[in-house]
Amino acid sequence: MALFNLLTLHVLTLRIVAISTLIALSGCANKFATDDYLALGDKYQVVIERDHLGVPHIIGERDVDAAFGFAYAQAEDNWQIIHDTIPFYRGTNAAINGQDAATVDFLIQWLEIWETVEANYDSALKPETHAWINAFVDGINYYAALHPEQTNQSIFPITGKDVIAGYMLRHLLFYGFDGSITELFEEQRQHPISRGPADANKQAEPMAGVTIGNLPVGSNAIAVSAPFTIDGATRLAINSHQPTTGPVAWYEAHIQSNEGLNIMGGLFPSSATIGVGFTENLAWGATVNKPDLVDIYVLDMDPNDPMRYKLDGEWKTLETKDIKIKVKLFGFLPWTVAEVGLKSVHGPVIQNDHGTYAVRYAGMGEVRQLEQWLEMNKAQNFDQWRDALRMQAFASFNFVYADREGNTMFVHNSLTPKRSPSYDWTQYLPGDRSNIIWQEYMAFDDLPQVINPVSGYLHSANQTPFRVSAEADNPNKSDYRIEDGFPTRMTNRADRGLELLAEMDSISEQQFFDLKHDKKYSVNSRAYKFLQQAAEADLESLGATDLQIYSAAQTLIANWDLSTDINNRGAALSACVLGGEWLSEQKGEAAPKPLDELVRCTDLLMENNGRIDPLWGEVNRHVRGDINLPVGGGPDTLRAIYGMRMEGDNYLTNVAGDGLYYQVSWDAKGKLKVRGVHQFGAATLDQDSPHYADQAEDYANEILHDPLFDEDLRQTKIERRYRPGK
């Protein structure tokens, strides 16, 4: 069960302590004073240029001017998403959207996110960061003031603290914090308490993958450089995988100022910074990594007092706080529910029938995520970019970097706790000893990383950090301890990409393009092994009288060439079979039985398509409004497409994987070239806009275009130039 579902069960058992009035809950007493914000447009000197694809290029006189325009442009394209995330990050969402939203409200209060923001916001951030954030929220509030008909007046104005809280919560969910907490709500304890060190040969795998909702999410980032490149160029594929729609789907923007800021790339709506992208001098891509960043301590409780726990032979008392959550029931009825939040010296505490657990996680008390992203956005060279990472405000994410000077880098970025070697940290920890409550993190320069590999290539696709390049260039696994919790998994994208790169003596621009769009599975991948098991499974165990169709399915899989191009006739069945295994691995669950998946997928195709071997392009579709196109690629291929069968459809709709992606290069003389495409278009929500789906066909056909980062090129393709609000 997902964390949010489990916490729903928990919150719904809370004691009902009060009934608020409907008027108070609606926030009418705190109506947004729009007149106070209507003059903000005159405060900032910024112009927004919309190109022929509707992409916003924001040009400000100062950095703060650009921040204001950046926020306003986002609001134009993503207002509903931005608007709805405000109560989500505040922990007040259930008062608006009902009991299903109470889970996150509880999580935010339990983790004391807002207490952390209030305590550190003024002191932990630089003055220039405060200035950026203030200008950004001015842009959001200005849009809200100009569009009261689109705005719930009770949740405005927003503040810089709202933005910081959003970065904090989103980052926790990206590195898989919820997976470790979910298991505490199972009926029985899920791990023993460690009594000694881990087996030195044990493969530590804290979390298998990451999902957003029920959608698997991965990413690719590939860098190549001279002398491996035929033409002496340095190239980077920026290809982070996300859902195709929603609050964590990629949005494209370009922000520039006369103070040196000039960056273009992808972000999630409501973000105050670019997440992946490029400048004139450098570029980076990000991939999700899964280091072990959460530890669970089992507290030794006083049998005569449920609020006391033992630490170093002495009794200590749990800290308590009231957690009150306003919940709207039945669409109109306001209730307030309450629970007592608990905390030990280890961290926040959960009490269940099978124990009392304290949670310690990477990034506790950290509020500088936005500041680090901003420093990366402003970096002008390799040293400045690495100095930004040395802030270590991010708990996770791999980064692959390239620049004009020919530098490339991979880093398995994480806030890796310095743990005692005396215990097995893949299990629960005894909570009665203060010497195993870690306090420090591994230094950035000690993390697994590769700079300017001799082989000339780096490939990150959510795999172990010890296999990202040629064998001689990889970080040495023996330099790290099992307690460090670095992942050991491989993905098909990792296996396949490294195999293709290793087969080449050198790589051309076209080969680099083809590598990113490769649609095959590796014979060394986990997926291929699962398919082999399905093809070789004993059909007699089914007990069915007619096994002919399943036998034909096994033959089809056995003879499949492992490709997911649109004209392939083995991909529909094979991708379905291996998709079940892939999704289970992403969730950290046991793989389904191969024969069961063979039967399920065979029956599904016969029911929906009338045959087990339809063309993959008939099954795998890219859909947006009236556009419905065949698309190549599949789950965990380098051309990553994750399809979902919608009710009533006989095909899969692309719902996650490749979204906005770029190929960035500097030639041997340092000249920049960028090509990219968005999965749909710049108008993420407006179905009436010409930019709602104007890139969808190019995306499906793998046609990339110049994103018009260069001002001179852009001037011939400007659709509209305006000041915010004008």
Give the other-Cβ count within 10 Å of 551's Cβ: 11
Nearest CA to 84 among 211, 269, 266?
269
Q: What are phi and psi of 161, to 5 degrees?
A: -65, -35
What's the rounded Cα separation, in Å, for the pair 164 and 162?
Answer: 6
Q: Count CB neighbours of 310 within 10 A.
A: 15
C-beta separation of 686 from 79 below 8 A: no
495 is in an annotated binding site: no
| Catalytic residue flag (residue 414) | no
The CA-based angle 93-341-166, given to 5 degrees, is 40
CA distance 669 to 97: 55
> Pick the catalytic residue: 180, 194, 219, 522?
219
- SS3 assignment, position 681: coil
The answer to the question of whether 295 is labelled as a binding residue is yes
Burial-class residue 108 by CB neighbours within 10 Å (0-12, 13-18, 19+). Answer: buried
Beta strands at 46-51 and 56-60: parallel, antiparallel or unpaired: antiparallel
Residue 292 in marked binding region:
yes
Q: Is the preceding peptide bond at 269 cis, omega within 30 degrees of 0?
A: no
CB neighbours of residue 429 within 10 Å:
24
Burial class of residue 200, CB neighbours in 10 A (0-12, 13-18, 19+)? exposed
Distance between CA atoms of residues 620 and 643, nearest Å: 7
For residues 655 and 638, give the distance between their C-alpha atoms in angstroms, rounded to a whole number: 16
The contacts found for 702-705 with CB under 8 angstroms, 24 or more apart, are: 702/517, 702/632, 702/639, 703/677, 704/663, 704/675, 704/676, 704/677, 705/53, 705/675, 705/676, 705/677
Instruction: List CB contacts of 82: < 8 A, sequence separation 6 or more.
Output: 74, 75, 140, 269, 270
The span from the CA of 360 to the CA of 173, in Å, is: 15
Residues constituting the chain:
726
Question: Which residues does 8 contact at the CB level (< 8 Å), separation at least 6?
Answer: 99, 100, 102, 103
Does the annotation list 473 as a binding residue?
yes
C-alpha closest to that of 234 among 456, 2, 473, 489 = 456
For residues 370-403, b (16+ Cβ closer than 10 Å) or e, as one string? bbbbbbbbbbeebeebbebbebbbbbbbbbbbbb
What's the alpha-carbon Rg for the chain, to the nearest Å? Answer: 26
Nearest-angstrom CA–CA distance, 476 and 95: 51
Q: Report how far apart, in Å, the C-alpha atoms of 641 and of each of 235, 638, 699 are.
A: 23, 9, 12
- The backbone torsions φ and ψ at residue 623, rounded to the nearest 5 degrees and listed phi first, read -120, 130
Residues within the annotated binding site for Ca(2+)? 292, 294-295, 473
Q: Which residues are annotated as a binding site?
A: 292, 294-295, 473
Which residues are tagged catalytic?
A: 219
